A and B are shown apart, each in its own frame.
Chain A
Amino acid sequence: GAVVSQHPSWVICKSGTSVKIECRSLDFQATTMFWYRQFPKQSLMLMATSNEGSKATYEQGVEKDKFLINHASLTLSTLTVTSAHPEDSSFYICSASDGGGAFFGQGTRLTVV
């Protein structure tokens, strides 16, 4: 089946620094990638949708300057959390679609100290 690899699986960073999370589709071309955020015991919340080669579409309330998304190729999308603060600590999950279904990465646990 289709495999989506997300890296890193966990990261701890200092407040004020930036963190980049990668999402790769290993055996298919992902025309669309989704980035989600999940707080403990809550549902996944869509942050943004990105199509290869174009700017991401952010959901209401998500700061595009803080959460930079780059979908430069059909197999790679990155989410950069800029100037991270403790309230950005969360579980971030990417999802990739080739138009035939959506497949999820294993998620990244971000802790900002």
Chain B
Amino acid sequence: SQKIEQNSEALNIQEGKTATLTCNYTNYSPAYLQWYRQDPGRGPVFLLLIRENEKEKRKERLKVTFDTTLKQSLFHITASQPADSATYLCALPGDSNYQLIWGAGTKLIIKP
């Protein structure tokens, strides 16, 4: 069955450094992959979508890569700030339209 893995351990990064989060998947060939941010007690907020034919996508301080050979996506936040502290989730399309399969998320802590 399809499986998505994200590092379950919290990632602690010093402010100003680049934070890199990993999303690995198996038994799957998704047409696209999405990254979301979730703050405690809130619903996910969409950040970026990258398609299978795109190697890299950028949005302000965010960068996402998608390696379909490795079955892996990397999510980078450059010049990280304490306000970037949150849980970041990757999601892949499910069987029906707009259904998403979610990773468990990685908690990112940016220390001032």
Contact = CB atoms under 8 A, between A and B. Distances in A.
A46 B98 contact: no
A102 B43 CA distance: 12
Interface band, chain B = 10 to 19
A7 interface: no
Interface band, chain A = 20 to 34
B41 A109 contact: yes
B44 A49 contact: no
10 contacts: A10-B41, A32-B97, A41-B8, A43-B102, A43-B104, A46-B99, A102-B100, A105-B43, A107-B41, A107-B43
Given A10-B41, A34-B98, A43-B89, 11 more contacts: A6-B43, A32-B98, A34-B99, A41-B105, A43-B4, A43-B104, A44-B44, A44-B100, A44-B102, A97-B97, A109-B41
Interface of B: 4, 8, 41-46, 89, 94, 96-100, 102-105
